[in-house]
Structure 1
């Protein structure tokens, strides 16, 4: 029976993520499962996670294959209730979208399009995580209003006086345009229109039942600059030929491969683009004599070969001490919807560090690093590096940093014009440590020298603060014994 079928949709995995790649199924059709049993492994832009089932019963259908990218809010698995008949998945499907109204094919298509585009704040939350900032974060049942709203909107088009305005669920109520009964649009499309100053009242929706689509807003944005109808006609042949592996129109070279931008790479691209477009960054750097630090660590290693912190842990300790002295670099710059701006300070330091993995560059963070010793920092850095490389770091471990330390010296380079890890306001980079000529007490000597580079948001502080912090860390590296004694 269809009423005995439960459809579990891909939940919001935290951090506002809108999609995930299905890596592996942990169950098969016909398996008996219990509540909270892991059913699949999925890879998001943040990490690899196991998705637990909120239902118990028999697996009736798996909605996806390994390697497929699924949208948040789309069906993941269908589960027959324990003790229920073994009705077919096809017969059970309508129950998952039941709204009390039999929807026409056109309306069902419109509802499906709406669900595809409405990726922000799904309200369908993974056990153990939460939906950040959403008004519907407290929802305890699956959303069922989308079909009903679109269907009733279609009925109003046919019979305007016969049907009263429906009662909308909070998540959908904010997506309706007054005076346009059929214009039920996703929050993502509304945000695009708001960001570009486009009035949705002036847009005719091209979707079924008058649904305003992303393409409608994009057309309104570009209308003053280019003919709306000309662009798709001109671009279509180029897209088709490129997809077929033909010669690239701009370079004259054959296209050898097309790699979808997704997962970690997609998240990095979006974050770096936002950082470059929003943060007016400046950079300061200094060469540092790290000889004393290396000698101190070598001496410690003789005494405790298996319990000596790495160089990065010592530098991390100096960084947390420096941020206590220069807290402006441990903040966040926020702009409210009304245009007002604030610099948000934190009572503590979550120290992020860049870690290269097979999935791309990720930035796990040591939470409450300000209260840790160099040895404790070393242990936590090693643990986080391991879980990040295994793809098991949690969204909280990957998205809670307040300042980033980047050791790009491991790649054999001296310096870098780093891009700040948005929404943080500063990043310290450490280059490779190499032998260089250095003047010591008026005489030329060969010393172990590295370069420190600090990129900072010029909105939160001026060069004096940035230079003061950088010099503090540099002095600590050059005189580690005295610095550690004072911390």
Structure 2
């Protein structure tokens, strides 16, 4: 290698100052290409892959998974390959050498991560480099530290030198440099072995390989896992001073969770909110949903129809589609709707928004809702999608609950919740009947409007649920 480069965590935009390492996509000793992803990091907005700006061998990972790193701090160190090593890499593109059966390099593979082949002939000796004859290198250095270091031995028979000569001094210096202690790099070729070690929490730098030339194979990792399991786990019990109960666990707050906590706390602190709700007969809405289905067209989903009615209601009552500019003491209303949709994911609750929802039909809303839902579950939402909402629709009925007094997503001024739809007795034309009932609840900022406006908006949406065909005809 011809030196190292340390890659600092880049500015991820949106004023973000830190990120948590969710998953390393490389390990020490891996070969990476320029722009190859090396880590998944979680910000307060989303999970993103960080690509490497350098090509070379991974020399150091600056923190285990779960570590929070500030922007501008070291993330990963890459050993830059020497020209001879790059030449060698070009020669070995045709396929892997001595790898474990079943885990060789696929033909035509283009991944940014590749293992060096290690054959009996190339593991200890590379083609001579005439221009570097006075600076012998170990094959480990030339190969990016993917094979054990073997000191270069000067050919004294071919080139005799007196003890005091410069040639003798150069050879002695080279031998001393080769004998100097170096950071131990694990020799691993199989992706399966690396995965086993990563999943089991085994540090491969502490494992002695039993394969040829010190190669770490599956049985070595299995032995390390067995030894790790046999060690007794000592848990220090900490009692809470207030309750006297032993603490079960402490879970650090992720950057995402910190951002959610800050937003919700600010909402409770700044917004004088009020809540109003109504029970709604959604039987006709479900019937409309079914009538739009066909053998070849599933039609827009129920949430898309609800979203279309909400957008129409906000057009009639724009006070609920804006924000409070406290610095200028002004109530701001938007020309258009970016409809936020609360979605529960493994990372927690996120609220991506359908941009320009007022320009979309029910079918258009359905397509965008499905796209955002998939992106939310995969952790691939953009910062803009998570921050651009002007009003939020929360379908908490998917959790099997009837109602909720939600917290407004600051700086918005209102949030509409929809409970589960279930069979209940209901009076229709003076007769008791079993109908599909749900509950709508509106939480609003009392600074932007009074109860009359909030009730009028809620009633409009409720009427749309009960007579959807009539409302759609006017949209």
Residue aligning to 1:383: 371
Q: 1:279 maps to which residue?
A: 271
The equivalent of 1:207 in structure 2 is none
Q: Report the counterpart of residue 247 of structure 1 in structure 2.
A: 239
**Pick aligned residue for 1:317 from 308, 316, 337:** 308
SS of residue paired to 2:266? helix
- Whether contact under 8 Å (1:21, 1:68) holds in the other structure is yes
Alignment partner of 1:330 is 2:329: no
1:72/1:373 CA distance change after superposition, 3 Å: same
Residues 480 and 245 (structure 1), Cα distance of their counterparts in 2 relative to 1, 3 Å cut: same
User: Alpha carbon RMSD of aligned pairs, Å?
Assistant: 2.5
| Higher mean displacement: 43-52 or 316-325 | 43-52
The answer on whether the counterparts of 1:326 and 1:465 sit within 8 Å (CA) in structure 2 is yes
> In 1, Cα distance between the equivalents of 2:335 and 2:56?
46
1:56, 1:471 → 2: CA distance?
61
Which residue of the other structure, out of 290, 312, 316, is the alignment partner of 1:298?
290
Give yes or no for contact 1:15–1:399 (8 Å, CA) kept in 2: no
Q: Secondary structure at the match of 1:67?
A: coil
The counterpart of 2:403, out of the listed 410, 415, 431, is 415
SS of equivalent to 2:459:
helix
Secondary structure at the aligned position of 1:323 is classed as: helix
Match of 2:258 in 1: 266
Q: Distance in 2 between matches of 1:85 and 1:423?
A: 58
Q: Which residue of 2 aligns with 1:78?
A: 77
Question: 4+ runs of 1 displaced by more than 6 Å?
Answer: none
Q: Give 2:414's aligned residue.
A: 426
| SS of alignment partner, residue 420 of structure 1 | coil
Alignment of 1:158-237 (within 5 A): none
Residue matched to 1:125: none
TM-score under structure 1 normalisation? Answer: 0.62
Residue 341 of structure 1, CA deviation: 2.4
* Residue 392 of structure 2 corresponds to residue 401 of structure 1: no
Change in 2 beyond 3 A, CA 1:457/1:85: farther
**Cα pair distance change 1:286/1:400, threshold 3 Å:** same
- Give the match for residue 473 of structure 1: 461
Structure 1 Cα separation of the partners of residues 310 and 414 of structure 2: 12
Larger C-alpha radius of gyration, 1 or 2? 2
1:345-384 matches, within 5 Å, as: 345-384=333-372
Which string of whole-angstrom CA distances, capped at 9 and with x for unpartnered residues, describes residues 99-147 of structure 1?
Answer: xxxxxxxxxxxxxxxxxxxxxxxxxxxxxxxxxxxxxxxxxxxxxxxxx
Is the contact between residue 20 and residue 69 of structure 1 (CA under 8 Å) also seen in structure 2? Answer: yes
Contact preservation (8 Å) 1:436, 1:446: yes
Q: Which runs of 5+ in 1 are unaligned?
A: 87-242
Q: Which has the higher helix share?
A: 1
Corresponding residue SS for 2:274:
strand
In the alignment, which residue of structure 1 is the partner of 2:14? 15
Supply the distance in 2 between the matched residues of 1:9 and 1:335 (Cα, whole angstroms): 38
Mapped partners of 1:60, 1:251: distance in 2: 47
For residue 425 of structure 2, give the secondary structure of its aligned residue in structure 1: strand
Q: CA deviation at 1:417?
A: 0.8
Q: Which residue of 298, 302, 309 maps to 1:307?
A: 298
Q: CA, structure 1 residues 259+444, in 2 after alignment: closer, same or farther (shift >3 Å)?
A: same
Q: Distance in 1 between matches of 2:424 and 2:296?
A: 28
Q: Deviations over 1:416-455 (max 9, x none)?
A: 1110011111100001112222222222222111110010
